């Protein structure tokens, strides 16, 4: 262990030990990392922070199924969302899917727009 140097005394605390030079012009710090290039228009609050063509969704699933899906994702070295997308696409491809009624879709879009505009409002989840 090295000994501390106390030669400066109290004056070293009050005066700078290095001569003061001309003040530096401060440049704003540069942000680190890759620049964000996402220019997509967010129409739903669930799209915030996602890539183009993606949205965030929450589902309730059986724990056993989720563990198996996570295991498949691990061993296949793919993301869980990619496995879910594949499974859902294969399921939908088997059926002729009718679109939802226009009125319901418009009502949902209007509700989502209100949530985006008023950031203080939070969507209330139903109690189960």
pLDDT of residue 45 exceeding 60, the answer is yes
Model-wide pTM > 0.75: no
pLDDT at position 127 over 70: no
* Between residues 105 and 44, the one the model is more confident about: 105
Per-residue b/e over 104-113, b at no fewer than 16 CB within 10 Å?
A: eeeeeeeebe
The residue ranges of every structural domain in the chain are 60-119
Percent of the chain topping pLDDT 90: 28
Res. 121 pLDDT band, cuts 50 70 90: low
Joined together, the tokens standing for residue 42 give 């967010």
Mean pLDDT of the chain: 78
Whether residue 80 contacts residue 88, with contact meaning beta carbons closer than 8 Å, is answered with no
Least confident of 2-6, 100-104, 107-111: 2-6
pLDDT at residue 21 tops 80: no
**Phi and psi angles of residue 8, each rounded to the nearest 5 degrees, phi first:** -70, -30
């Amino acid at each position: 262990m090295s000994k501390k140097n106390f030669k400066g005394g109290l004056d070293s605390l009050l005066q700078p030990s290095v001569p003061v030079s001309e003040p530096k012009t401060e440049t704003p710090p540069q942000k680190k990392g890759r620049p964000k290039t996402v220019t997509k228009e967010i129409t739903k609050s669930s799209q915030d922070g996602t890539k183009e063509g993606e949205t965030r969704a929450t589902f309730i699933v059986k724990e056993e199924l989720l563990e198996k899906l996570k295991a498949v994702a691990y061993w296949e070295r793919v993301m869980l969302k990619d496995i879910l997308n594949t499974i859902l696409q294969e399921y939908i491809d088997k059926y002729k899917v009718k679109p939802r009624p226009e009125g319901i879709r418009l009502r949902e879009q209007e509700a989502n727009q209100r949530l985006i505009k008023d950031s203080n409002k939070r969507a209330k989840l139903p109690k189960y």
